[in-house]
Amino acid sequence: MAGADIGNTVKVHYAVKLDDGTVFDSTFDQEPFVFTVGLGQVLRALDEAVMGMTPGTSKNIRVLSDEAYGPYDEELVTEVDLKEFPADFKFEAGQLLHIPQGDGSTILAKVLKVSEASVTLDKNHPLAGKDLIIDIQLIEIM
């Protein structure tokens, strides 16, 4: 049986873990994830890892932060005046916000701190600056 190749749509289970073993995301207890190999729909390391795999095989890869979600960027931590938000909006430290952008897209920001006049937001990806361990199981080449 031929292995997965560029252009194949594949069905996989995956678990993304941090170095300390914390599972950040996993499909092993839900429906498998479907993507087309080589189209940039997933991290390049995952695209490359799946190539050549056959259904039923598993693989474990390590992805350095620079090849995953990049380094943590202190410049993406910003203080925003509360007047920029609706007056009745309630912020809590740790809260995740989807902030609309001018082009219609949204970015995810984590509330780090709330004061009487401002809120400090972290617009880094939650996995920025972190090396990842990804367990992959190829279920099907569709």
Residue 2 belongs to some domain of the structure:
no
pLDDT in tens, 118-134: 999 999 998 999 999 99
Domain that holds residue 42: 9-69+128-141
Q: Are 59 and 49 in contact (CB under 8 A)?
A: yes
At residue 31, the pLDDT reads: 97
Q: How many domains does the chain have?
A: 2
Residues 6+ apart with CB under 8 A from 129: 65, 69, 70, 71, 72
Instruction: Report the CATH number that the domain containing residue 133 is assigned in CATH.
Output: 3.10.50.40
Same domain, 65 and 135: yes
At residue 89, the pLDDT reads: 86
Same domain, 64 and 87: no
- Is 0.85 topped by the overall pTM? no
pLDDT in tens, 45-87: 999 999 999 999 999 999 999 999 999 999 999 999 999 888 8
Same domain, 80 and 64: no
Q: How far apart are CA 12 and CA 103, in angstroms?
A: 32
